[in-house]
Amino acid sequence: MALQQIVPVSILLRGDGASGTFVFQLGDLYQISSGSAVPYGNLGTIPSSIEVSNPPVPIFSATIDANGNITITLVSALGAGVVVNLVLNLIFDSGDMGLFPRPIEVTGGFHFEDALGNDLAIIAGMLPVALADGSGAPITSTGGSLNTNITNFPATVAVTQSTTPWVVTGSVIASGTVVVSNLPASQVVTLASTTISNFPASQAVTGTFWQATQPVSGTVVVNNFPAIQPVSGTISVANFPATVAVTQSTSPWVVSGTIAVSNFPASQAVTGTFWQATQPVSGTFWQAIQPVSGTITANQGTSPWVVSLASTTITGTVAVTQSTSPWVIAGTLPNNAWVPGTNNVGVLPALANAVAPTWTEGAQVLLSEDLKGGLRINQRTPQTPAAPAQVNVGTSSVQVVAANANRTGLVLTNLSTNRTISLGLAATAVASSGIVLPPGASWVMDAFTFVTGAINAVASGNAATLAIQELS
């Protein structure tokens, strides 16, 4: 970064309570110099940038463009009537040659205004203004002439011929309406053939004409007119009778098809000799009851036969069917007091299964044995453990686990390092008797040692520790 020149300039601003932006041409900014106020624009070049030094109010930004227009934006609007003094640092980069616009000569009665509509005074025939294009870029000059780039010049330019009337040669294509004032009203046209597109298809013709059909009066004699004329189309006969009598050529007439007789009676009287429904018969006939001799097989009319006897003897085998189905068998079979015989109606209590069966909830089932005769008993029912505990055991018997009717399991561990602990199951513990746990040993209650009573313990020395885990 090169050296920069900083020139402080003092600006007094007074707020209106609504605006927070100050825009001004730096060249017209008046400064105090030797007791006089002079505009800045007569004194130097356009700064590279500007900044506000130690502002008394928050400043959002301070900028200057290439034409020397400064813009100071406050963070918020300055209060109405409030006056602040801003020290504006004008910063000039080393080698900066951007001059303020120099005066140009103006001749004639021109009137000039700045961007805000203020009159620009002409001093000694010179106007101190800067020329810029529409984008704000300065317009330069070469040899006293402005360097301009005209971009809006029309693509089509109207040209007026110097001769009157214009001289036109060749073919001219005209569109729209062309007015020719000196063309004769009648023109002689010579054509081999022509097509007139707007000539009407029908033309009105005037004069006297003979009609296709002429009225004739008097007597007309036609010699070759035939006596009979063919007639085509529809003929209306006004005097033709509505009813015409027709006589069939055959006698009698032949009628075919179905004829409905509406007045024929439903019942007709019939006369003559008829056979009666019942006829008298004479001669010899078989009687309803006939004498029978020999052996007769009789079948009873009811099934089964009804037999009423005080007593009878039946030989052979008789099949008997109980009236209830299935048969009801009742009796008393004592437990552990009777040896079953060969005709005993017993029970098969178990099934042999290689794999344990799965039963249905609420169903009556058999026991299950493996193929070696072992009865399956599932004792792995989830238990509810009590909170783990520890007790100190001394040389006298002490209760370590209270009686528990819901107990399902118990594990005791000797945590001592040099003491033995002896257990008493629902009895007073005796040292070195019963179940003896050496240091670090555990005892698990099983099916053969299961009790629900209190567990007592005694140690080989004082301060022995026993860990307890009970399950219910």
DSSP letter string over 121-151?
Answer: PPBTTEE----B-TTSPBPPEETTEE-----
- 397-439 residue pLDDT tens: 999 999 999 999 999 999 999 999 999 999 999 999 999 999 9
Token digits of residue 441: 């040993």
- Strands, E, within 300-383: which ranges? 350-352, 367-369
Q: Which helix (H) or strand (E) holds 466?
A: strand 464-471
pLDDT for the residue numbered 231:
64
pLDDT for the residue numbered 187:
66
pLDDT for the residue numbered 324:
81
> What type of residue is 316?
G
> What type of residue is 365?
V
> What type of residue is 204?
A
- 435-464 residue pLDDT tens: 999 999 999 999 899 999 999 999 999 999
Token digits of residue 82: 């409030």
Q: Distance between CA atoms of 183 and 436, rounded to whole angstroms?
A: 151
pLDDT for the residue numbered 55:
92
Q: Which of 430, 432, 470 is nearest to 451 (CA)?
A: 470
Q: Distance between CA atoms of 421 and 429, rounded to whole angstroms?
A: 9
- 250-273 residue pLDDT tens: 777 776 777 666 676 777 777 777
- Residues of the chain with confidence (pLDDT) below 70: 1, 31-44, 96-136, 143-160, 164, 166-176, 178-192, 194-197, 199, 210, 220-229, 231, 233, 235-247, 255, 259-262, 264, 307-309, 331, 333, 335, 379
pTM over 0.75: no
Q: How many residues does the chain have?
A: 472
pLDDT for the residue numbered 80:
93
Q: Distance between CA atoms of 97 and 48, rounded to whole angstroms?
A: 10
Token digits of residue 287: 């009687």
Which residue intervals of 296-388 are DSSP H helices?
none
**Domains and their CATH numbers in the chain:** 4-93 (2.40.30), 389-471 (2.60.120.770)
Q: Distance between CA atoms of 427 and 457, rounded to whole angstroms?
A: 9
pLDDT for the residue numbered 273:
74
